[in-house]
């Protein structure tokens, strides 16, 4: 596998998801990795609850999203406030 | 015993109970305050003159065992916006009023002299005593003394030094269950209206109160049960959920990630340092210091988003540091230190200032050179000017727009004169539509599009999409209805997603009123409240030109998304238009 097949992703976890993984980490993945892979890697409870997923500040991202080099992935538990 | 109105005439210090009009039977909270203000207040009156009135009304189900229902509304013509105002607070005070079957307190007239009064309300009497010894004093010490004097079971609302200055950013402060002066009907200068009449405190003692009349116990019980189930199962509102674990400040990180957390007087939408004032960090510190988290702002709340922030060792409790307050006094001022934010919040509570308006004001004051962005100590000194009632303090107490004008600042984040809350409308357009079009002046709670645009609660919408008239209208109408019930707006997160929860809300209303409302009646009920408010504003001189955001949002791009607010005027007018 050449360096060209790798993408660099910043992963940020928030609120109680920080019990399952680091608040912020920069990791390399193979090209065409989906958000699902990261949900699985950290065993984030996406089946149990509607996690809120943002890529580069854009919300409503689904697990099928294919990550691109340099993406910032932010994952939150269901939340709201005001 | 039927419901009553307590009418307080400050001209001659007379207070008397009146019958509650039969045609008001279905009105409570915001529906009642806005109806009374529209009926009884000349829209062209001076907000701080004898002809304005201040109305305090608990919601329709407040005081019952329905969960999270201890809210009340305060209404008047606002000295900040010049239009109608409803400011909302959660406090045991509201439950006490409701149990005493007081549907509203109406304050009218204006005491001629310069003295201030306390009004003590019991089941069958309302009496005045002098409040002059509290003039110029901070509310933390004052509330402690008042509870000593009147006993710790009473409820207290009052105004502070900022209201004595008739500052348009002064709120009315209600006690929390611990007696801290921390639950505010904050917005729009309602404190100045109360102070202008010569009234400083209202103390309610509900000894002998009969409780809220429930005409259909069965419907009520069933409804309360359905709602309780929705609140305890929805991931946002359930025990151990995000609101319960981290409070409203859980929003700091997500809004920052979304690029919509205004920094340094709305000059950027993101800053990594915001994490330092996040709900995650705050909850950790509260635990370490022995504060309280979670906490209910009124007995009977299931969600319990509230907290008690304090100094190390559990000392000098402040009360809750809400997301809006943390943002306003934090990132909006370039301040990323929770102890600085906590002390600024304490100072606002002590002076009787709305934290959102105070933070907006501080942002423009910093831009105008009164302090450097980030200088929390200097910001506290500036609030001392209010305490000392200096000419500068008088300017600052009048809020964001007034201070900006005094300091020659042109980036002025207000709509209808009221400071914007903690979401930049260039990054999240639907909330901008609400800011522009609510009759209240910039107010996030009026139609909280953020839930749909960012969190996917109640459906999803792209925050950058500019067609948001329908989303904002639907939310504004639903919110107005909830504000009439006395339920906390946060129940919406659960009932927007769980239909039985919404049915439960309507069932409890039917239980209390002995009515046969259905879920389909809710939008019409909410719309009728907005119609009353818009009618008042129109007569006060508002036109569609007042339903706009300030120019800089349309011209200056906001990082990191580098977008402007590009919702068209036609779309804004479509919210209430034909
Ligand atoms: S959810 Fe929070 S603001 Fe609402 S009633 Fe409960 S404690 Fe008060």
In terms of residues, how long is chain B? 578
The ipTM estimated for the assembled molecules is 0.96
- A82 contacts B456? CB cut-off 8 A: no
Among the partner-chain residues A16, A49, A80, the one whose CB lies closest to the CB of B455 is: A80
Which pTM was predicted? 0.97
List of chain B residues whose C-beta atoms are within 8 Å of the C-beta of residue A63: none
- d(Cα B81, Cα B342) in Å, to the nearest integer? 28
Tell me how close the Cα of B540 comes to any Cα of chain A, in angstroms: 29
- d(Cα B463, Cα B290) in Å, to the nearest integer? 39
- d(Cα B372, Cα B9) in Å, to the nearest integer? 46
What are the tokens at B436? Answer: 């522009």
Over B77-93, what HEC string results? ECCCCCCEEEEEEECHH
Which H or E run contains B54?
strand B54-58
SS3 B58: strand
What are the domain boundaries of chain A? 3-76
C-beta atoms surrounding B313 within 10 Å: 8
pLDDT at A1 over 50: no
B315-319, strands of its sheet edge to edge:
B292-295, B306-311, B315-319
List of chain A residues whose C-beta atoms are within 8 Å of the C-beta of residue B253: 14-15, 74, 76
CATH topology of domain B4-204: Aldehyde Ferredoxin Oxidoreductase;  A, domain 1 (3.60.9)
Express each pLDDT in B376-411 by its tens digit. 999 999 999 999 999 999 999 999 999 999 999 999
How would you classify the pairing of strands A6-13 and A72-76? parallel
CB-ligand 1 contact for B304 (6 Å cutoff)? yes
Q: With an 8 Å Cβ cutoff, is A78 touching chain B?
A: yes
- d(Cα B268, Cα B264) in Å, to the nearest integer? 7
- d(Cα B45, Cα B236) in Å, to the nearest integer? 43
Q: With an 8 Å Cβ cutoff, is A50 touching chain B?
A: yes
Express each pLDDT in B417-456 by its tens digit. 999 999 999 999 999 999 999 999 999 999 999 999 999 9
What average pLDDT does chain B have?
97
- d(Cα A25, Cα A19) in Å, to the nearest integer? 14
List of chain A residues whose C-beta atoms are within 8 Å of the C-beta of residue B489: 82
- B251 contacts A81? CB cut-off 8 A: yes
- A80 contacts B242? CB cut-off 8 A: yes
In terms of residues, how long is chain A? 82
What are the domain boundaries of chain B? 4-204, 251-424
pLDDT at B486 over 80: yes
Q: With an 8 Å Cβ cutoff, is A26 touching chain B?
A: no
- d(Cα B472, Cα B467) in Å, to the nearest integer? 10
CA distances from B363 to B333, B334, B403 (A): 5, 8, 10
Which residue on chain A is closest to B323 by alpha carbon? A82
C-beta atoms surrounding A64 within 10 Å: 8
pLDDT band at A3; cut points 50, 70, 90: low
CATH class (in words) of the domain with range B251-424: mainly alpha
Among the partner-chain residues B254, B323, B560, the one whose CB lies closest to the CB of A14 is: B254
Percent of chain B with pLDDT over 70: 100
- Residue found under tokens 């996406």: A46
Average pLDDT over residues B149-161: 98
> Ligand 1: distance of its center to the CA of B282 in Å?
18
**Cβ contact B523:B473 at 8 Å:** no
CB-ligand 1 contact for B6 (6 Å cutoff)? no
- d(Cα B455, Cα B251) in Å, to the nearest integer? 10
Express each pLDDT in B68-120 by its tens digit. 999 999 999 999 999 999 999 999 999 999 999 999 999 999 999 999 999 99
Tell me how close the Cα of A16 comes to any Cα of chain B, in angstroms: 8
**Cβ contact B192:B351 at 8 Å:** no
Express each pLDDT in B316-365 by its tens digit. 999 999 999 999 999 999 999 999 999 999 999 999 999 999 999 999 99
What average pLDDT does chain A have?
95
Average pLDDT over residues A7-31: 97
- d(Cα B562, Cα B567) in Å, to the nearest integer? 15
- d(Cα A44, Cα B48) in Å, to the nearest integer? 55
B251-424 and B4-204 share a CATH fold: no
Average pLDDT over residues B158-183: 97
CATH topology of domain A3-76: Ubiquitin-like (UB roll) (3.10.20)
Nearest one of B187, B170, B224, B157 to B8, comparing CA atoms = B157
């Amino acid at each position: 596998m050449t360096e060209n097949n790798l993408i660099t992703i910043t992963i940020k976890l928030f609120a109680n998801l920080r019990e399952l993984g680091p608040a912020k980490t920069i990791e390399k993945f193979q090209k065409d990795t989906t958000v699902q892979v990261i949900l699985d890697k950290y065993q984030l409870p996406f089946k149990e609850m509607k996690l809120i997923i943002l890529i580069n500040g854009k919300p409503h991202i689904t697990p099928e999203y294919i990550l691109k080099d340099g993406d910032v992935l932010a994952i939150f538990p269901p939340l709201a406030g005001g | 015993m039927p419901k009553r109105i307590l009418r307080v005439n400050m001209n001659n210090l007379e207070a008397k109970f009146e019958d509650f009009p039969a045609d008001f039977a279905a009105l409570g909270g915001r529906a009642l305050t806005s109806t009374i203000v529209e009926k009884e207040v000349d829209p062209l009156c001076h907000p701080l003159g004898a002809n304005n009135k201040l109305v305090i009304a608990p919601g329709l189900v407040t005081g019952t065992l329905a969960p999270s229902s201890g809210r009340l509304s305060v209404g008047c013509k606002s000295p900040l916006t010049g239009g109608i105002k409803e400011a909302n607070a959660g406090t045991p005070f509201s439950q006490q009023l409701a149990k005493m079957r007081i549907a509203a307190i109406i304050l009218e007239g204006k005491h001629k002299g310069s003295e201030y009064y306390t009004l003590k309300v019991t089941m069958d009497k309302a009496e005045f005593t002098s409040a002059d010894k509290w003039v110029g004093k901070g509310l933390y010490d004052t509330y402690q003394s008042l509870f000593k004097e009147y006993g710790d079971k009473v409820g207290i609302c009052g105004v502070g030094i900022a209201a004595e200055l008739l500052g348009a950013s002064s709120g009315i402060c209600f006690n929390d269950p611990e007696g801290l002066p921390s639950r505010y009907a904050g917005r729009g200068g309602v404190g100045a209206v109360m102070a202008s009449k010569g009234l400083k405190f209202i103390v309610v003692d509900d000894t002998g109160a009969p409780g809220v009349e429930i005409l259909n116990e069965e419907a009520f019980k069933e409804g309360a049960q359905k709602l309780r189930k929705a609140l305890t199962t929805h991931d946002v509102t359930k025990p151990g959920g995000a609101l319960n674990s981290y409070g409203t400040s859980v929003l700091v990180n997500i809004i920052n990630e979304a690029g919509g957390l205004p920094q340094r007087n709305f000059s950027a939408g993101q800053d990594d340092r915001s994490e330092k004032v996040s709900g995650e960090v705050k909850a950790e510190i509260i635990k370490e210091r022995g504060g309280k988290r979670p906490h209910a702002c009124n007995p009977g709340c299931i969600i319990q988003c509230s907290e008690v922030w304090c100094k190390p060792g559990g000392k000098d409790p402040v009360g809750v540091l809400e997301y809006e307050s943390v943002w306003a006094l934090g990132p909006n001022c370039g301040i990323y230190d929770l102890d600085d934010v906590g002390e600024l919040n304490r100072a606002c509570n002590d002076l009787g200032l709305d934290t959102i308006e105070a933070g907006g004001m501080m942002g423009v004051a910093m831009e105008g050179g009164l302090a450097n962005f980030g200088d929390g100590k200097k910001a506290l000194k500036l609030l001392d000017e209010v305490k000392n009632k200096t000419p500068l303090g008088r300017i600052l107490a009048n809020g964001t727009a007034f201070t900006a004008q005094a300091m020659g600042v042109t980036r002025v984040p207000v709509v209808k004169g009221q400071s914007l809350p903690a979401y930049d409308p260039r990054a999240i357009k639907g909330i901008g539509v609400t800011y522009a079009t609510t009759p209240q002046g910039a107010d996030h709670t009026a139609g909280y599009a953020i839930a749909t645009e960012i969190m996917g609660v109640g459906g999803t919408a792209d925050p950058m999409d500019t067609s948001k008239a329908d989303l904002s209208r639907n939310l504004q109408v639903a919110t107005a209805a909830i504000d009439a019930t006395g339920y906390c707006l946060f129940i919406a997160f659960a009932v927007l997603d769980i239909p039985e929860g919404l049915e439960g809300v309507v069932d409890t209303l039917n239980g209390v009123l002995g009515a046969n409302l259905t879920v389909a009646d809710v939008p019409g009920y909410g719309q009728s409240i907005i119609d009353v408010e818009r009618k008042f504003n129109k007569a006060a001189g508002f036109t569609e030109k007042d339903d706009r955001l300030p120019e800089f949002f349309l011209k200056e791009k906001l990082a990191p998304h580098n977008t402007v607010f590009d919702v068209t005027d036609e779309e804004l007018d479509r919210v209430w238009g034909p």
